Amino acid sequence: MTIFSKRYLFPAIVFLSIAIVQSFPLVFHLSTSLPGSGIGDNANAVWNFWWMRHALTNGANPLFTDYLFAPLGIDLTLNSHTALPAFIGALAFGQFGPIAAHNLTLLLTLAANGLAAYALAFSRTGHLRASIVAGVVFACSPYVAAHLQGHFNLVSAWTIPLVVMAALNALTRQSTSWALLTGALLGATAYTDYYYCTYLVVFLVVLALITTHSFTLVRARQTSRWPRWSTALLWIAGIAAAVAIAIASTGGTTLVLYGQRVSITSPTNILTVGWLAIVLWALARWRLAVQRTEQASPLLRPAVFGGAAFLVTVLPLAWCVYRLIAAGDYVAPEHQWKSGAAGVDVLSLVLPNPMNPLWGDLVHRLYARLALNPIEGVGWLGLAPLVLAALIVKRTFRSDREVRLWCAIGGVFLVWALGPWLHIAGVNTGLVLPQNLLSFVPIISNARIPGRAMVMVSLAVAMLCAKAVTDLPSMRSPRALVALGFSLALDLMVFPYPTVSAESPAIYQRLATRERGTVLELPLGLRDGFGAIGSSPDTAMLAQTVHEHPIMGGFVARLPPSVKAFYLDNPILRSLMDLPADARELPATNRSPEELVRELRRLGVNYVVLDTRRASAALHTYVTNAIGGHVLDKDDQRVVFTLDEVSPVERPSATP
Q: Which residues of the chain have pLDDT under 70?
A: 1-6, 212-229, 251-263, 265, 286-297, 335-339, 578-591, 644-656
pLDDT for res 649: 40
Q: Do 64 and 126 belong together in one domain?
A: yes
Which residue range forms the structural domain that includes residue 601?
506-642
pLDDT for res 216: 58
- Residue 581 to residues 36, 418, 586, Cα–Cα distance (Å): 26, 38, 11
Q: Do 55 and 133 belong together in one domain?
A: yes
Q: Do 122 and 265 belong together in one domain?
A: no
pLDDT for res 268: 77
- Residue 148 to residues 48, 140, 145, 335, 557, Cα–Cα distance (Å): 16, 11, 5, 28, 18
Q: Do 127 and 40 belong together in one domain?
A: yes
Total domains present in the chain: 3
pLDDT for res 257: 60
For 264, other C-beta atoms within 10 Å of its C-beta total 15
Q: Do 436 and 556 belong together in one domain?
A: no
Q: Do 226 and 200 belong together in one domain?
A: no
Q: Do 272 and 322 belong together in one domain?
A: no
For residue 262, the surrounding DSSP H or E stretch is strand 260-264
Whole-structure pTM value: 0.89
CA angle 464, 474, 489 (to 5 degrees): 60
Q: Do 384 and 266 belong together in one domain?
A: no
Question: End of a domain among 492, 514, 531?
Answer: 492
Question: End of a domain among 492, 517, 548?
Answer: 492
> Is 74 in contact with 563 (CB distance < 8 Å)?
yes
For residue 562, the surrounding DSSP H or E stretch is helix 561-568
Q: Do 304 and 280 belong together in one domain?
A: no
pLDDT for res 647: 41
Is 635 a member of any domain?
yes
For residue 554, the surrounding DSSP H or E stretch is strand 554-555
Q: Do 185 and 207 belong together in one domain?
A: yes
Count of helices and strands (H, E) across the chain: 26, 17
pLDDT for res 86: 93
pLDDT for res 174: 83
Q: Do 315 and 440 belong together in one domain?
A: yes
Q: Do 50 and 190 belong together in one domain?
A: yes
Is 98 a member of any domain?
yes
pLDDT for res 653: 42
Is 648 a member of any domain?
no
Is 307 a member of any domain?
yes
Q: Distance between CA atoms of 193 and 83, rounded to whole angstroms?
A: 9
pLDDT for res 270: 80
Is 652 a member of any domain?
no
pLDDT for res 510: 93
> Is 170 in contact with 61 (CB distance < 8 Å)?
no
Is 5 a member of any domain?
no
In sequence order, the β-bridge partners of residue 608 are 520, 641
Q: Give per-residue pLDDT as tens, 372-400.
A: 888 999 999 999 999 999 999 999 988 88
Is 12 a member of any domain?
no
pLDDT for res 651: 38
User: 581: closest CA among 538, 614, 610?
Assistant: 614
- Residue 18 to residues 105, 108, 114, 367, Cα–Cα distance (Å): 15, 11, 9, 27
Whether the bond between 11 and the residue before it is cis, its omega within 30 degrees of 0, is no
Question: End of a domain among 251, 272, 292?
Answer: 292
pLDDT for res 289: 60
CA dihedral 536, 538, 540, 542 (to 10 degrees): -170
Is 656 a member of any domain?
no
pLDDT for res 239: 81
pLDDT for res 219: 57
